[in-house]
Structure 1
């Protein structure tokens, strides 16, 4: 097995933790918070980006504030599980903006999706587009969030 993990020292870890808390901070503020010089911080962040450790920097949006209050966790089982069928399903859901996350899982269903939509009619329309009209979908099991008690994007480093 090939190890693609980048060796991280204590400064790298402090930088990653600080950026996961607030990626919008200036390089000078970041350097001050991690106790490093601004040029060192800039070099380290560039290295972490170039190595793919930092994949992207985004804003986290409150779904209910932008009209996407319904979260669904959806289990999908396909009729045919060959690689080409799995890949085709992934391509299909990747095109759908309401699908925030898609995981191939084992055992159990073939996929678990995290979906964010406005309401139940919007979910019904999405389910029809992705599942009901897709000949290879055998089973769909949906769970609807009634309360989000935790949502975190931070990875422990």
Structure 2
């Protein structure tokens, strides 16, 4: 992976975009204190360098609940029998394409993977467990923790505090 030179202006742009990616170029430039052409050029460079992966809308689950239902969120720990690189990669690839898996982390020590999953209800979780875990002979252990309340959800990276460290 190629390294890119990042300065304080780039970091301010990234921080502002994490908070509101819908800002117009003019508004973003004003917020970061650069000219609109400079802002546009730098943001394009940040995209091309892969520092900005994608733009998404973060939906309000509570406001959508009357339409979609609250659903069931779980943190799931997965341990595999064989942890060779090819086995870890194969499991990761298989679960990454399932839309119920919102996040996947390969971790150490402890389990091999920690997943954040969201499904409609317990029967949907059972179907997910059968599809992804039970049917995989390499899955040794599955431990699920079901969410009763989400206390915080923040996808924003702490750029300003990371620079000071």
Unaligned runs of at least 5 residues, structure 2:
160-165
Q: CA deviation at 1:56?
A: 1.0
> 2:98 and 2:43 mapped to 1: Cα distance?
32
Match of 2:120? 118
Match of 2:99? 97
Q: What is the root-mean-square deviation of aligned Cα atoms in Å?
A: 1.5
Bigger Cα displacement from structure 2, 88-97 vs 67-76: 67-76
Q: CA deviation at 1:69?
A: 2.8
Unaligned runs of at least 5 residues, structure 1:
none
Q: CA deviation at 1:5?
A: 4.9
Bigger Cα displacement from structure 2, 59-68 vs 90-99: 59-68
Match of 1:151? 153
Alignment counterpart, residue 140 of structure 1, candidates 139, 142, 147: 142
TM-score by length of 2: 0.88
Alignment counterpart, residue 37 of structure 1, candidates 35, 38, 43: 35
Q: Would the alpha carbon gap of residues 60 and 10 (structure 1) be closer, same or farther in structure 2, given more than 3 Å must change?
A: same
Q: CA deviation at 1:7?
A: 3.0
> 1:57 and 1:101 mapped to 2: Cα distance?
16
Counting helix residues as a fraction of each chain, which structure ranks higher? Answer: 2
> 1:55 and 1:128 mapped to 2: Cα distance?
31
Q: CA deviation at 1:68?
A: 5.5
Match of 1:25? 23
Bigger Cα displacement from structure 2, 45-54 vs 4-13: 4-13
Match of 1:15? 13
Match of 2:78? 76
